[in-house]
């Protein structure tokens, strides 16, 4: 007869083994290598993504060796838990030339949640190269579209002219990134924090007159969406507006950021929401540099209290209440 003590310890051991195994499976990370010269498992980024099964629950790192990958890349909604990692934003580039649609023309399209990108650049080459010394019509040509929830980008580049970063929906975190453009080149209705990043304005080079950095589309007072720039630097050529409203409750905040002498004295602009200035939240706090002079800003720029400001600049409060950013970093 099997003793009760043996049954107890056997059951306990089995329970612990099964639960440890589940945790290991959940936290394990698979790696796929992409190399355009054929030294990896795939020669294109899209083929590597396509190899990940639908409804994937295992964190998978797609390691992309240095090179310029001329392709359009899409991550569909049911391919979550992907880390896309390059060898540096100067050496690993995904680029494509497409234009005419603020969504579909994107070089990189992310519809899935639970995603991280590191050390890689997304570029739309439309309008970046003169053809017979003539610049093509300035139009929508995004480098990246981000639509899923819980997406983070570290050391990444986003290069284009109009709508460079289509930051559409969800909670997004950008750290130590580089974003370049001229016309509404960070736009959308997402809840995004840009930290320690460079925003480079290219208005002079393309002759578009005044540039517009952020076009944020919060539509109601109950939404949490906003663009927050914390410890960022705005460089390049101007003149440029820090942002312009294209929805009734557009919300953009710059905190402890530095501005080159390229910012239009008024600072802010309205696209289609004239008359709703009281509902728009455009604010600057503790910023510096020759472009940070507030004396001639629009009268409807908001001055936030310390409590109001904290809701935007505190990562935990603004978009990371469930610690999703820390959870993602465990799989790098």
Active-site residue set: 163, 184
Q: Nearest Cα to 147, choosing from 185, 116, 190? A: 190
The two beta strands, 251-255 and 29-34, are: unpaired
Dig out the tokens for 180 from the structure. 């370049």
Distance (Å, rounded) from C-alpha 331 to C-alpha 58? 10
CA dist 77 → 34, 166, 301 (Å): 22, 17, 37
Give the number of other Cβ atoms within 10 Å of residue 185's Cβ.
29
Rounded distance between C-alpha atoms, residue 233 and residue 88, angstroms: 20
Closest Cα partner for 110 from 155, 65, 158? 158
Q: Which of 258, 178, 189 is nearest to 226 (CA)?
A: 189
Q: Contact, 155 vs 89, CB < 8 A? A: yes
């Amino acid at each position: 007869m099997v003793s009760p003590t043996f049954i107890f310890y056997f059951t306990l051991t089995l329970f612990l083994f099964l639960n440890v195994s589940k945790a290991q499976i959940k936290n394990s990370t698979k790696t796929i290598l992409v190399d355009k010269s054929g030294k990896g498992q795939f020669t294109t980024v899209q083929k590597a993504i396509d190899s990940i099964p639908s409804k994937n629950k295992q964190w998978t790192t797609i390691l992309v060796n240095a090179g310029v990958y001329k392709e359009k890349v899409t991550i569909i909604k049911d391919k979550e838990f992907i880390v896309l990692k390059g060898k540096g934003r100067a050496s690993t580039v995904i680029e494509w030339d497409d234009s005419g649609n603020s969504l579909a023309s994107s070089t990189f399209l992310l519809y899935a949640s639970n995603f991280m990108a590191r050390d890689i650049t997304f570029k739309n080459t439309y309008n970046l190269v003169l053809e017979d010394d003539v610049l093509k019509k300035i139009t929508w040509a995004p480098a990246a579209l981000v639509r899923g929830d819980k997406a983070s980008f570290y050391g990444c580049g986003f290069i284009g002219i109009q709508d460079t970063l289509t930051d559409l929906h969800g909670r997004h975190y950008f750290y130590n990134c580089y974003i370049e453009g001229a016309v509404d080149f960070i736009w959308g209705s997402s809840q995004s924090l840009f930290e320690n990043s460079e925003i480079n304005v290219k208005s002079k080079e393309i002759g578009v007159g005044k540039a517009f950095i952020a076009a944020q589309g919060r539509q109601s007072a109950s939404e949490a969406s906003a663009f927050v720039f914390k410890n960022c630097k705005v460089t390049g050529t101007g003149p440029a507006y820090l942002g312009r409203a294209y929805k009734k409750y557009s919300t953009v905040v710059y905190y402890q950021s530095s501005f080159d002498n390229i910012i239009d004295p008024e600072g802010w602009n309205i696209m289609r929401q004239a008359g709703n200035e009281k509902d728009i939240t455009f604010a600057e706090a503790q910023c510096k540099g020759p472009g940070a002079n507030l004396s001639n800003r629009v009268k409807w720029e908001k001055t936030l209290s310390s409590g109001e400001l904290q809701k935007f600049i505190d990562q935990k409060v603004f978009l990371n209440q469930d610690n999703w950013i820390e959870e993602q970093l465990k799989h790098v």
